[in-house]
Structure 1
Amino acid sequence: MSRRAGILAATLLLAVSSAATISAHAQQAFPQPLPEEPIPSVATLPERYPDSYVYVHDFHFKALLDGRAAIVDVSSPSSSVKGHVSIAQFGTILPTTTGSEIYTGETFYPRLTRGERTDVITIWDKATLAPKGEIVLPGGKRGQFVTLRNAMQFTNGEKWMLVFNFTPGSSVTVVDLEARKILGDIDMPGCSLMYPTGARGFSSLCADGTMMTVLLDEAGKAKSTSAGKAVNDIDNDPWFMTPAMVGRTAWFVSFKGKLRGFDFSGDKPRDLGGFAMVPGDAEKGYRPGGWQIASSDAAGRIYVLMDPNGAPGSHKNGGTEVWVADTAKKTVARKIAMKNHTLSIEVTAGAKPYLVAALPSGSLDVYDANSGDFLHTVVDATNDPMTMTASGK
């Protein structure tokens, strides 16, 4: 055998030996072939979500047409994101607290960004996260802005929905969710958003500092309209428009750190008074800051996101501490230092609640709400988290 032939034979032998070794290792690593996976393969969620589930509205500023809400189990840092529902074009999400549906207010154009506008309420199944129907909203007037939870609300035992419209004239569309039909529109000039009031009705904050209340009849039409004296100091210390809810009581937070409670269980809002979390009226110092800046737990405590560098105009900057207020004693019971700069907060339901802090990065820091201890981070849960809604709240 020539030297060249010998080298070739040795090379072939080495290649065969290496292939045999790789095959043996592969058989050890994967002794059985992987089972065939059916396509499509769709997991399902429970029809009633655990208390640890939170809907995180990802506004998705870089692609507003592709907004969505992530359903996140904040009890664990891994496998936390359970699914998504889309919320197109400055949309809003409103999940039922006891039922099996999620509702989103959305806007569509046939040419993506142009053409005839269509506003809809999309109905999603909680278990499959699949769309199961929609209700077309007339007039192309659904309010479009960076999401606020009180732009869509339930009334009449979650049988009806209230949708805030802005053209810039403001009105409310009443939707019968059971019959899947529109009941009518109610004009409310100079007033914005809705706070469910009584058995069938809502209140709204108005530009003159008053609160207008509309009670509805059985057909969804306005039965009565009333307004009280000015309670919101628009010029000097206005309220954030998304309150922390304790049952039917709303606790509004002012830009300078005052709390003011209103009981909406009756036919008219009942003013419960309030107190200042921050003493004095300093131009700079601790002030509430962020987008969703307040939440509550099952014990009725109010959690407020605070910015130590607050000043006039800083109310959207976010914060680094959460102050826990005892409304019965009218005092700040404790303060929780945030691990990272925080944009929005939500507290989950139940006796052992989680405090969830949405970060500008899209991740979620999770704390034990009772102790204030940091637990873990859910990394990259969303792109641009704005509002959060805890399951069952």
Structure 2
Amino acid sequence: MKVRRFLGAAALAIVAGAAQAASYPEPLANEPIPNVVELSAQYPASWVYVHDLHFNSLPDGRAAIVDVAADVRAFKGQVPVAQFGTLLPSTTRPEIYVAETFFSRMTRGERTDVITIWDKATLKPKGEIVLPGGKRGQFVTLRNSFQLTNGEKWALLFNFTPASSVSVIDIDARKILNEIDLPGCSLVYPTGPRGFTSLCADGTMTSIELDTAGKVAASSTSKPINDIDHDPMFMTPAMVGKTAWFATFKGNIHGLDLANAKARDLGVFQMPKEKTAEGEWRPGGWQVISADAAGRLYVLMNPAGKEGSHKDGGSEVWVVDPARKQRVARIPLQNPAVSVEVTAQSAPLLVASRSDGSLDVYDATSGAFQRTLAQVVHDPMTMTASR
């Protein structure tokens, strides 16, 4: 009897299994190994580079390429950005430039500074420019330590040893054209068709015009325009065309016209001053200001603003119309953020990076929350929207 029951149960199981197998779809074809998919050489406007400084392993810094409009498969790839490196995407070529540093024993030994040139489609290195002297400025990443000028044919790289200087690098020829000493001045803001401006420790700004060989054709220094002692500017501006809009520590907006060879001060206007139980609303974070294609500014704001709070991050984004010199909207954030960036789409997206490496995405026009991209990176410091 036990044998008959076992055989009957086995037969039923075989029949049921056959019926279930018949309902399954055809198996998927085998994928080749390795299976590498290339990206578009021109990235969509919803893609954002998220620079992960990776504090727990600085030689292993990287930049993630993320589609912030996507609910699934938003992570498109990444490129290494080693040892306090700086990322600089080209807008005219299918290339990404990375200024970075290596040591022969990873954390010690002979130092080599390079600009690595990455292919946007394959995310493979296609060349590098070795930088002599171990001079490249190494600090928590600031976008204006590495910029393009002269129709993106040349790169400008800020050096700090702690003497400050700027290297002029020919991207096509893969060579250094010049090094320009800039005592007391920092970073580079491309100015005119071929040149740059630097902000100086005494509150002035110095504009350098370059000739066709990358040499200094003219230079000028302004009167003090940056109130270093009482209301200094954050060093990363939002660019609207050739106008750089800087937020200040106390919540003002300062404009510089960079269209011509000599930078022109556009002056300062105030955002609303509002007290809170914790202090007052002030800008806070690392990359605190961005702009959309229509020229509106987006400023990350902290309700507990006070002396020394300028890196604390923020819980709201204030939208400012610089033409009218008015705040036009407030966007409450679902989570505190350390940096903000706005995409260049006609219907722009506001991206707020969180300290846990996640990205919160909002409709920049309405302020409506859209999605969270969880833990995209480890330490998101700067973001650069595709242009």
TM-score by length of 1: 0.93
Could you give the per-residue CA deviations for residues 173-210 of structure 1, whole angstroms, max 9, x where no partner exists?
A: 11101111111211101111000011111000110000
In structure 2, the partner of 1:84 is 78
- Per the alignment, residue 126 of structure 2 pairs with 132
SS in 1 for 2:33: coil
1:33 Cα deviation after fit: 4.0
Residue by residue over 1:282-318, the C-alpha shift from the partner in whole angstroms, topping out at 9 and shown as x without a partner, is 9931100000000001111111000000110000000
- Find the partner of 1:175 among 163, 169, 173: 169
Q: Does 1:222 align with 2:212?
A: no
Aligned-partner residue type, residue 375 of structure 1: Q
Q: Tell me the distance in 2 between the aligned counterparts of 1:369 and 1:162.
A: 32
Distance in 2 of aligned mates of 1:280 and 1:110: 52
Partner Cα separation in structure 2 for residue 191 and residue 11 of structure 1: 90
Q: Is the counterpart of residue 386 in structure 1 residue 381 in structure 2?
A: yes
Asked if structure 2 preserves the Cα contact closer than 8 Å seen for 1:77 and 1:379, the reply is no
1:270 corresponds, among 264, 271, 276, to 264
**Structure 1 residue identity aligned to 2:60:** D
Residue 41 (str. 1) matches residue 35 (str. 2): yes
For the residues of structure 1 that align with 2:19 and 2:305, how far apart are their CA atoms? 62
Q: In the alignment, what sits opposite 1:309?
A: 304
- Aligned match of 2:313: 318
- Deviation per CA, 1:88-116, whole angstroms, max 9, x where unpaired? 11110000112100011111112111111
Q: How does 1:153-192 map to 2 (within 5 A)?
A: 153-192=147-186
Which structure 2 residues correspond to residues 1-393 of structure 1 after superposition, within 5 A?
A: 9=3, 13=7, 20=14, 24=18, 27-28=21-22, 31-279=25-273, 284-392=279-387
CA distance in 1, matches of 2:150, 2:125: 24
The 3-state SS of whatever aligns with 1:62 is helix
Q: Distance in 2 between matches of 1:64 and 1:156?
A: 32
- Bigger shift: 152-161 or 60-69? 60-69
- Contact 2:272–2:327 (CA<8 Å) still a contact in 1? no
Q: What code does the residue aligned with 1:191 have?
A: C
Of 15-24 and 349-358, the range deviating more from structure 2 = 15-24
Q: Which stretch of the first structure deviates more once superposed, 147-156 or 26-35?
A: 26-35
More moved, 13-22 vs 153-162: 13-22
- Once the two structures are TM-superposed, the CA of residue 75 in structure 1 deviates from its matched residue by 0.8
Cα pair 1:198 1:268 within 8 Å, conserved: yes
Assess if the C-alpha contact under 8 Å between 2:273 and 2:280 holds in 1. Answer: no
Secondary structure in 1 aligned to 2:309? Answer: coil
Q: Which whole-Å deviations, capped at 9, do the CAs of 1:128-167 have from their partners, x for residues lacking one?
A: 1111111111111111111111010000010000011111
Cα distance, 1:14–1:68 mapped onto 2, change above 3 Å: farther
Question: For 1:150, what is the secondary structure of its paired residue?
Answer: helix
CA–CA distance in 2 between the matches of 1:18 and 1:387?
62
Aligned to 1:3: none
Paired residues, number: 386
When structure 1 is superposed on structure 2, of 155-164 and 328-337 the one drifting more is 328-337
Contact 1:121–1:137 (CA<8 Å) still a contact in 2? Answer: yes
SS of structure 2 residue aligned to 1:64: helix
Point out the more displaced range, 19-28 or 218-227.
19-28
Q: 1:26: Cα distance to partner?
A: 7.2
Give, in angstroms, the shift of residue 13 of structure 1: 4.2
Q: Is the 1:48–1:98 contact (alpha carbons within 8 Å) kept by the matching residues of 2?
A: no
The amino acid that maps onto 1:166 is F
The answer as to whether partners of 2:315 and 2:336 remain within 8 angstroms in 1 is yes
Conserved 8 A contact 1:49-1:391: yes
Looking at structure 2, the residues matched to 310 and 22 of structure 1 have their Cα atoms a distance apart, in angstroms, of 68
1:23 positional shift: 5.5
In structure 2, the CA distance between the partners of 1:22 and 1:59, relative to structure 1 (3 Å rule), is farther
Shift of 1:62: 1.3
**d(CA) in 2 for partners of 1:258, 1:304:** 10
Q: Which amino acid aligns with 1:367?
A: Y
The code of the aligned residue for 1:328 comes to: A
Deviations 1:52-92 (A, max 9, x none): 01111111111111111111111122211111111111110
CA RMSD of aligned residues (A): 2.0
Judge conservation of contact 1:198–1:267 (CA < 8 Å) in 2.
Answer: yes
Verify the 8 A CA contact 2:273 2:281 in the aligned structure 1. Answer: no
Q: Deviations over 1:312-363 (max 9, x none)?
A: 0000000001111111111111111111101100000031100111111111
Q: Which amino acid aligns with 2:127?
A: G
**Stretches of 4+ aligned residues off by more than 4 angstroms:** 9-19, 28-31, 280-283
Distance apart, 1:10 and its partner CA: 6.6
TM-score with structure 2 length normalisation? 0.95
Give 1:20 deviation, angstroms: 3.7
Cα separation, 2, equivalents of 1:260 and 1:56: 26
Distance 1:291 1:14, change over 3 A: farther
Gaps of 5+ in 2: none
> Structure 2: how far apart are the matches of 1:299 and 1:136?
39
